[in-house]
Amino acid sequence: MTASAPLPPASPRSQPAEIPAQYDPAATESALYADWTRAGVFTARPERTTRQGGDADAFTIMMPPPNVTAILHVGHGLNNTVQDVLVRWRRMAGDEALWLPGTDHAGIATQNVIEKQLAAEGKTRYDLGRDAFVARTEEFVRTTGGAILDQLKAIGASCDWTRTRYTLSPEMSAAVREAFVRLYEDGLIYRGHRVIHWCPRCLTSLSDEEAEHEDVEGKLYHIMYSLTDDPSQGLTVATTRPETMLGDVAVAVNPEDERYKALIGRTVTLPIAEIEIPIIADEYADPAFGTGVVKITPAHDPNDFEVGKRHKLPMPVIMTPEGTMGEGAEASGRVPAQLRGVDRFAARKMIVAQLEAEGSLIKAEPHRHAVRHCYRCDTVVEPRLSDQWFVRMKPLAEPALEAVKSGRTRILPERHEAVYVNWLEGIRDWNISRQLWWGHRVPVFYCDSCGWEDALREDPADCPKCRGVVRQDDDVLDTWFSSWLWPISTLGWPDTGARDLKTFYPGDVLVTAPEILFFWVARMIMAGYRFMGDAPFHTVYLHGTARDTQHRKMSKSLGNGIDPLDVVARYGADALRWTIVSGLGMGADAIFDPADLEKTFAPGRNFATKLWNIARFLLTAAGEERVQRIDAIDAARLTRADRWILSRLDIAIDECDAALGPARPSGAQWPVEQRRAGMRLNEYAESARRFVWNELADWYVEASKSRLQGSGPDRDVARAVLVHAFDQALRLLHPIVPFITEALWQRLPGHVDGEFIARAPWPVRRGTAPEPSGFELVQEVIIRIRQLRSDFAIAPGKPVTVHVAHRGDTTDGGAAERYFDTILREEAPTIERLARATLSWDPIPTGTPNAKAAIAGGATVAMLLDGAIDVARERMKYAKELAELEKQLGSLEKRLASPGFTSK
């Protein structure tokens, strides 16, 4: 279905020194993706897993298959980025990761696409006929379908493309058929004659989930039905759909309703149709609503249908499948000639007009109510009596309910668990037949000569009973009837001995949007239990919806969407992914500004650039000589800054692990303390970013420059630490920004050709406990001096001397001050370089008019800043802000009693 594109040439291997000044995502990304593919980095190897005698845990994610005709939008970008982050993380953490991609044939959606094409040619599907229509759709899917999978490669999705699946492939179709036949044989699939949701545009029935509620401003019409034997009296019924009155077979009142008790058993004349119908008593009539009298239209209302069954009433269908007025076999004479063939909404107007003319219309009041619409074409759904195939859901729902209640499967965010439980507890049977042509055909066969029928795994040649001609059911199955098998059918089910099925089932995480919790997620869990005896995953992660800044859902019709490929072209895939992941609060909607891509995605690009520049510095500074492994460095040779950054790295690793982890429950169920843990991708991103940018780049790199630029043995220590810290940082970041991290990692000194960061081990903390290095004090002193410089507007180039003095705090015997002083003396070069100041331990010259002082370092040591020649002038310049400054500088201000400083 998807021809894999020819691989671009391998990424250019440049020498460290040749690293370009500017990162070019476009030139890097596709080449790297081709490298990964060529090396089989994303291909899962069953033999490595513990389930096949290896030592790696299997980690499986099934991609929610996008519609085969879909093109990539931000929702896909969001969904697949999350999955990719998880899969890349686990792959590095040592799991044998399988992310299985694929597409959905999308019954109604795809059929609609082709029908639109046909409409443009002035044709309908009936002009082509079933076989030709299906052939045309297949051809369309074969040539243009599945493009979205190639688009996913552009955002870096690390799917196992050797296992790509399609819900309408022969293998998946066989699984669908097997599942149907088994459920049929088990009595869990049955044909039901009842009122279902009917889309008059798609000309098919819909499941409850596919008929979406939407509030509309309608009218509640009050219509007089007069008593047959006394036309001067009558009952007033209230309805929002007067056109259905032609199908009325009774009016119902509540048996307890004193107003109407006496009328029960008498008859009224149905206006327009002029048919006599009975007044019946049924609990369904609510005395408090409207007039308390309900018209009963069993063929066009699910409640009325139930009433009709209870009272054994006829059930005339008075509309055609297309939604025009017309008659079924049982409805003869109900629809007047002038209404036949008239669209239901036009007919409503005509009927109301006629009732008004006859004086039967009492009133029409505005009425806001929810009306069901087709989820694919938004047409108002018409309830309609028909024969459909149903799945009996109660028995299937029970284990799925238990899975979540027991903690076998958790749903994040947690609040969705209640929604899930509530839905399953009230579950109703699932209408799985669709009157479409595109999909899996219902595998039920009929013999018209002897009446035989059965669901079969293989097409029969003739009737097994009478050798008569058999025909197959015309309907196809709901798309979701194939989707719910996705976690098992993709791995080889119904062959339970299939290697992939045994290796990768049950899987781990399902990542999707809350909208399809019922459509898909719940049903997959049911199918998992029914056919494999276990849930297909232990975690359901429901992410938010992509919205614009007005919180409107991004959609084609609103034109407020963002094309992920446009973002990739302008800022790079890593920038797109960074923005998605760093803003991904648990379950919160993702807000992007389609009107300002720069504002939305520049931070991601900037971050990539930062990484690029750190690498440029590192490669220049580390040179091309061999860099020692961090483990080869004697701990005694590590400087304060070295120990600090290594400790910060450990903390960053811990934080990332905590934000992401646990990868799976420690037992068969989620223990309470783990149940809500992990999957906090934004926190993970922030921890990694803070480490590499605010700690490694802002402090360690700056503090180590002189060591790196010098010569001698200490340079090797600094090089080893720097390369190690950056290497580990790249690994931490790789799941989020895979391209730039791969590009840089492969340039690090010591990189072995053919190794990928995508398969490199996930960082593990080195130290056993956080080590106080004293470097924090160095930072504090530097910050204080910088603040003083800034507060007093000392020109950047101007040299200053900072006098270090002690308060003489002896409460601890002076230990703290001695400790602090030692650090200051040892780290003086670093402080002087980063704060651009000279430290002095000389006493401050008494009477110096320009002396200033500051309390620094936890208020244990006084630092006096001298050499600020322009203090007086600056002081006057800032006179207005004096009050503010005093507040900030606290006790410093007290010591500033220099002469000539009288307030102005």
Partner RNA sequence: GGGCGAAUAGCUCAGCUGGUUAGAGCGCCUGUCUUACACACAGGAAGUCGGGGGUUCGAGUCCCUCUUCGCCCACCA
Binding residue for RNA, selected from 279, 294, 470, 777, defined by CB under 7 A: 294
Kindly tell me which of 537 and 792 has the beta carbon lying closer to RNA: 792
Kindly tell me which of 295 and 577 has the beta carbon lying closer to RNA: 295
Site residues for RNA, 532-551, by CB under 7 A, read 547, 549, 551
Q: Is 162 in the site for RNA (CB under 7 A)?
A: no
Q: Is 215 in the site for RNA (CB under 7 A)?
A: yes
Q: Is 877 in the site for RNA (CB under 7 A)?
A: no
Binding residue for RNA, selected from 171, 343, 473, 515, defined by CB under 7 A: 515
- The C-alpha atoms of residue 268 and residue 609 are separated, in whole angstroms, by 80
- The C-alpha atoms of residue 335 and residue 274 are separated, in whole angstroms, by 10
- The C-alpha atoms of residue 508 and residue 496 are separated, in whole angstroms, by 19
State in angstroms the smallest separation of the CB of 691 from RNA.
13
Strand partners, 230: 227
Q: Is 453 in the site for RNA (CB under 7 A)?
A: no
- The C-alpha atoms of residue 276 and residue 353 are separated, in whole angstroms, by 22
Sheet holding 96-100, edge to edge: 96-100, 58-62, 509-512, 539-542, 410-412
Give strand ranges (E) for 398-450: 410-412, 430-431, 433-434, 444-447
State in angstroms the smallest separation of the CB of 551 from RNA.
6
State in angstroms the smallest separation of the CB of 465 from RNA.
40
Q: Is 301 in the site for RNA (CB under 7 A)?
A: yes
Where does this chain touch RNA (CB under 7 A) — which range of 301-309, 500-508, 712-720, 746-754?
Answer: 301-309
Q: Is 290 in the site for RNA (CB under 7 A)?
A: yes
Site residues for RNA, 100-119, by CB under 7 A, read none
Helix-, strand-, coil-residue percentages of the chain, each rounded to 5: 45, 20, 40
Concatenate the DSSP letters of all residues of 175-218 into one string: HHHHHHHHHHHTT-EEEEEEEEEEETTTTEEE-GGGEEEEEEEE
Tell me which amino acid residue 358 is. Answer: E
Binding residue for RNA, selected from 12, 170, 366, 796, defined by CB under 7 A: 796
- The C-alpha atoms of residue 105 and residue 176 are separated, in whole angstroms, by 13
Site residues for RNA, 578-617, by CB under 7 A, read 583, 585-586, 588-589, 591, 599, 602-603, 605-606, 608-610, 613-614, 616-617
Binding residue for RNA, selected from 267, 435, 787, 898, defined by CB under 7 A: 787
State in angstroms the smallest separation of the CB of 710 from RNA.
12
State in angstroms the smallest separation of the CB of 367 from RNA.
7
Binding residue for RNA, selected from 348, 664, 680, 803, defined by CB under 7 A: 680
State in angstroms the smallest separation of the CB of 30 from RNA.
19
Binding residue for RNA, selected from 140, 284, 446, 819, defined by CB under 7 A: 284
Where does this chain touch RNA (CB under 7 A) — which range of 124-132, 133-141, 205-213, 754-762?
Answer: 205-213
- The C-alpha atoms of residue 640 and residue 163 are separated, in whole angstroms, by 51
Contact 63, 160 (CB under 8 A): no
State in angstroms the smallest separation of the CB of 239 from RNA.
4
Residue 694's SS3 state is helix
∠536-537-540 over CA atoms, to 5°? 130
Binding residue for RNA, selected from 67, 205, 239, 503, defined by CB under 7 A: 239
- The C-alpha atoms of residue 200 and residue 519 are separated, in whole angstroms, by 22
| String of contacts with RNA for each residue 415-444, x by CB under 7 A | x--xx--xx---------------------
Kindly tell me which of 354 and 609 has the beta carbon lying closer to RNA: 609
State in angstroms the smallest separation of the CB of 852 from RNA.
15
Q: Is the dihedral of CA 9, 15, 19, 20 positive or negative?
A: negative
Site residues for RNA, 136-155, by CB under 7 A, read none
State in angstroms the smallest separation of the CB of 576 from RNA.
14
Interface with RNA: number of residues (CB under 7 A): 81
- Residue 58 sits at φ, ψ, to 5 deg, of -80, 145
Q: How far is CA 425 from CA 346, 395, 420, 493, in A?
A: 40, 11, 9, 28
User: What residues contact 143, with CB distance under 8 A and at least 6 apart?
Assistant: none
Kindly tell me which of 116 and 556 has the beta carbon lying closer to RNA: 556
Q: Is 620 in the site for RNA (CB under 7 A)?
A: yes
State in angstroms the smallest separation of the CB of 874 from RNA.
12
Contact 223, 533 (CB under 8 A): no
State in angstroms the smallest separation of the CB of 858 from RNA.
10
Kindly tell me which of 614 and 641 has the beta carbon lying closer to RNA: 614
Q: Is 236 in the site for RNA (CB under 7 A)?
A: no
Site residues for RNA, 469-488, by CB under 7 A, read none
Tell me which amino acid residue 272 is. Answer: I
Site residues for RNA, 342-381, by CB under 7 A, read 369-370
Where does this chain touch RNA (CB under 7 A) — which range of 175-183, 213-221, 260-268, 431-439?
Answer: 213-221
Binding residue for RNA, selected from 45, 392, 637, 676, defined by CB under 7 A: 676
Query: How many CB atoms within 10 Å of residue 643?
Result: 18
Both structure tokens of 750: 């010591």
Q: Is 791 in the site for RNA (CB under 7 A)?
A: yes
State in angstroms the smallest separation of the CB of 257 from RNA.
9
Q: How far is CA 252 from CA 236, 285, 296, 814, in A?
A: 11, 6, 7, 95
Binding residue for RNA, selected from 90, 105, 165, 241, defined by CB under 7 A: 241
Kindly tell me which of 291 and 741 has the beta carbon lying closer to RNA: 291
Q: Is 874 in the site for RNA (CB under 7 A)?
A: no
Kindly tell me which of 570 and 766 has the beta carbon lying closer to RNA: 570
Concatenate the DSSP letters of all residues of 285-326 into one string: S-TTSTTSEEEE-TTS-HHHHHHHHHTT------B-TTSBB-
Q: Please state whether the peptide bond connecting residue 564 to the residue before it is cis, i.e. omega within 30 degrees of 0.
A: no
Q: Please state whether the peptide bond connecting residue 829 to the residue before it is cis, i.e. omega within 30 degrees of 0.
A: no
- 663-699 burial, b at 16+ Cβ within 10 Å, e below that, comes to bbbeeebbeeebbebbbbbbbbbbbbbbbbbebbbeb
Quote the longest CA-to-CA distance of the chain. 121
Site residues for RNA, 18-47, by CB under 7 A, read 21-22
Site residues for RNA, 807-866, by CB under 7 A, read none
Where does this chain touch RNA (CB under 7 A) — which range of 94-102, 258-266, 788-796, 807-815?
Answer: 788-796
Helix (H) or strand (E) holding 567: helix 564-571
| String of contacts with RNA for each residue 686-725, x by CB under 7 A | x------xx--xx--xx--x--------------------
